[in-house]
Chains A and B, each alone.
Chain A
Amino acid sequence: MRHDVIERYELGWMGVSVVLVVLLFVGVLASMISDTLPGVVESRTRFVDPAHLETTAYAKPGLHEENGELHAYVVARAFTFTPSVLTIPAGRRVTFHFTAADVLHGVQIEGSNINFELIPGHEGVASATFRTPGTYTSACNEYCGAGHQNMAFKLIVENAK
């Protein structure tokens, strides 16, 4: 093996790696734009005062219809989600709004690609349509203290009556 030959191959390999990596990047972007990743565009940087949630849309957690659109507001607080059970209709687009009131929490909604790090002062916002009726149970997925392992959030998707 001659070192200049090895070096030439290695430079070629580097070229191939760069191309592959850029292709991957483009692939991921394409996937995100095609709506596999809810929340990317919706996430805003609006401040939600965790000490005064009563002055915000989180004053009444739960599902609300606003101008014909469904919005769900959920507050995470050690060691419960409010509401801890949320019922939504199947087949309708729902915009989820999550925030944390005390320390960090997290939620990944089973059956969707919604995964929020919940940070006091910020809200995770994402829209999704659940088509299959059923119960989707998720646990808090960011360490928040002694009761972390029992902090659950249940989403019930029902056929419209």
Chain B
Amino acid sequence: MTSTPLGGPDTTPDVRGRGHGYAAHPHKKVTLYFLATGLLALLIGVLIGPLQALNYAGVDVYSHLPFLKSYYQGLSLHGVLNALVFTTFFISGLLLYLPCRELGVRPNLIVAWGAYWTMTVGTALAAVPLLTNDATVLYTFYPPLMGHPLFYIGAAMLVAASLVVGIQTVTIWWGWKRRNPGRVTPIVTYMSVATWMMWFVASLGLVVEVLVFLIPWSLGITKGVDPLLARTLFWYTGHPIVYFWLLPAYVSWYALVPRQMGGRIVSEPLARLAFALFLLISTPVGFHHQYTDPGIPALWKVVHMLLTFLVAVPSLLTAFSVAASMEYAARLRGGRGWIRWMGRLPWKDAIFTGQALAMISFIFGGAGGIANASMAIDAVVHNTAWIPGHFHITVGTATTLTFFAVSFWLLPHLTGKKLASPRVALWSVWFWFAGMMVFALGMHWEGLLGIPRRAQISAAGPELQAVYHKAAVPMALTGISGMILLVGAVLYFGVIFATLLGRREAGAQEVPVPFSEQVAAAGKDGRVHAMTRVLENLWALFFVALALVAVMYGPELVAMLLNQHPVPGARLW
């Protein structure tokens, strides 16, 4: 058995030795392309990171770089490639492939490849103005700063393609439901579909912002854009997008890691509850990015603050479940004591260790998120170095390091090639984790001292330099962390390239997809947990999520749309 007894997992192994090796599962190839393209984007984005870390250590290397015209061009590339391109590609590959394998369904390959190429061409189009310094607007591209139209068009294609993959996954699930009336959706598919549905609700803001406002404006068809309206639409998507990055990591932590450490899922119904809650309340919280924006009534900010606090609950559930399944696995492996059982976990395995370290980083990242949710704290940390400190231990570690660990089994699984060096892989995750912890310490600390984010502080004039001097210690930490991270990145990408360029093993056994079993063998006697039954109605949850958004965003958005104050664009870089 490779999965929950309720699913119908596709366990046909691919036979190696002849041909390309995709015989039984041709969707492996498109998945591999999604993952590899995403990782390539990450490689470029990540290599700029250490230069930024040096800037935050007061060292300006930008005047000597032939390939970047400015700090801000580099920062635009870093944000777009890491946070938007890498994540979207990787997630599209992962959350299409896993449900297909779990349900034993082949996706329509024309659609999947169509989405892949749309995404790739979109990224290439957006990359052109980024590389020519014509879209140095950072990854938030707030108007009135106006980038080249290709930037917005490419971004729109990226998002549209991800939606196609989402619709494809939901369609596959729905087909399975209709062929299997009365059966409960297996856990990984459930989580994936909930994530995609959340993304459908969440992406609306960005889609409207880019298609209705930014593209016509950058093409000169309209004269201006209301900057507050654009910001509001951006953050409508900008908060839940972090759950779009995080939930795929949760899928792995909940449903794959238990098996990878030799255990099982301890409480499946609550795992479903966590994902259902994310579907419901990920989106109507975006005003927490606009606490300091004039023009939005305080009452709405307070309402979104309450919901932001509540969206911590499913993450706290995840922390409990994941920790419990770790303990369960460790005790099965002979672990004893209150704490000592932790030593029994497979710490020599980069696949487990990478994800365990990602989880640890998220304890701090999540706690920081709860702190940031407070309007009062936000006034202290908004637009300071604290914020990048926060999201490098959430998306930059919880998500990214989990994806690193996933790539250690998934790339061998997809290609039939062995992971080049498990030892170097293990070193790479430790370096990344250590680097990001030091980074977070330095940046959070700087933020509390009022050091602004998104600023080439190393090139500031003497007056501001004197002010920044008070942060000399944390700034040094940021600089050091950048070097640790550079080593981590070189090790990681070294292993990945060595693996991908390595030779395919003839006749090798396929690395299995680690779908976990659950402790409670639900359904054995035909009984299904009552909560699971209720939560199975994903469509109902989806419509409730839409309704919630309409209530929480509707009044302000309608007021802004009816009362627009467009401002002309400007290019100030």
Residues in A lying within 8 Å of B, measured CB to CB = 1-4, 6-7, 9-11, 13-14, 17-18, 21-22, 24-25, 28-29, 31-32, 36-37, 40-41, 43-45, 47, 49-50, 78, 102-104, 106, 108, 110, 113-117, 119-125, 137-150, 152
* Cross-interface CB contact of B297 among A11, A45, A47, cutoff 8 Å: A45
What residues of chain B lie closer than 8 Å to A143, measured between beta carbons? 72, 138, 145, 454-455
Pair A108/B227 contact, Cβ less than 8 Å: no
Pair B294/A122 contact, Cβ less than 8 Å: yes
Bound: A143/B78 CA distance, A? 15
Pair A117/B374 contact, Cβ less than 8 Å: no
Does B121 belong to the interface (CB within 8 Å)? no
Pair B461/A150 contact, Cβ less than 8 Å: yes
The 8 lowest CB-CB distance pairs between A and B, nearest first, are A145-B572, A3-B520, A141-B383, A141-B452, A122-B295, A17-B316, A122-B294, A3-B519
Distance in Å: Cβ of A76 to nearest Cβ of chain B = 12
Bound: A110/B143 CA distance, A? 27
Bound: A17/B270 CA distance, A? 14
Residue of A nearest to B145 (CB): A103
Residues in B lying within 8 Å of A, measured CB to CB = 70-72, 138, 142-145, 226-228, 231, 266-267, 269-270, 290, 292-298, 301-302, 305-306, 309-310, 312-313, 316-317, 320-321, 324, 327-328, 331, 370, 374-380, 382-384, 450, 452-457, 459-461, 463-464, 467, 518-520, 565, 567, 570, 572-573
Tell me whether chain A's interface is mostly helix, strand or loop, or mixed.
Answer: mixed
Pair A28/B269 contact, Cβ less than 8 Å: no
Bound: A47/B226 CA distance, A? 12
Pair B317/A17 contact, Cβ less than 8 Å: yes
Given contacts A18-B310, A36-B376, A110-B467, 12 further A-B contacts (CB under 8 A): A10-B321, A24-B374, A43-B295, A104-B142, A115-B378, A117-B293, A121-B295, A121-B565, A137-B463, A140-B455, A141-B454, A152-B464
What residues of chain A lie closer than 8 Å to B460, measured between beta carbons? 139, 149-150
* Cross-interface CB contact of A141 among B228, B455, B572, cutoff 8 Å: B455
* Cross-interface CB contact of A122 among B293, B312, B572, cutoff 8 Å: B293
What is the number of contacts between chain A and chain B, taking CB atoms within 8 Å? Answer: 209
Bound: A124/B292 CA distance, A? 8
Pair A148/B567 contact, Cβ less than 8 Å: no
Bound: A78/B570 CA distance, A? 10
Pair B572/A146 contact, Cβ less than 8 Å: yes
Assuming A78-B572, A103-B145, A125-B294, is B370 touching A24 (CB within 8 A)? yes
Residue of B nearest to A41 (CB): B298
Bound: A140/B457 CA distance, A? 11
Bound: A123/B327 CA distance, A? 53
What residues of chain B lie closer than 8 Å to A13, measured between beta carbons? 316-317, 320
Pair B376/A28 contact, Cβ less than 8 Å: yes
Distance in Å: Cβ of B388 to nearest Cβ of chain A = 12
Pair B380/A119 contact, Cβ less than 8 Å: no
Which of B138, B267, B379 has the largest count of A CB atoms less than 10 A from its CB? B379
What residues of chain B lie closer than 8 Å to A113, measured between beta carbons? 376, 379-380
Assuming A7-B267, A25-B306, is B567 touching A31 (CB within 8 A)? no
Distance in Å: Cβ of B307 to nearest Cβ of chain A = 10
Could you show 29 A-B contacts with beta carbons less than 8 Å apart?
A1-B324, A3-B267, A6-B519, A9-B320, A10-B320, A10-B321, A13-B316, A14-B270, A21-B370, A22-B309, A29-B302, A31-B376, A41-B298, A43-B295, A45-B296, A103-B570, A117-B290, A119-B231, A121-B567, A124-B292, A141-B453, A141-B454, A141-B455, A143-B72, A143-B145, A146-B572, A146-B573, A149-B71, A152-B461
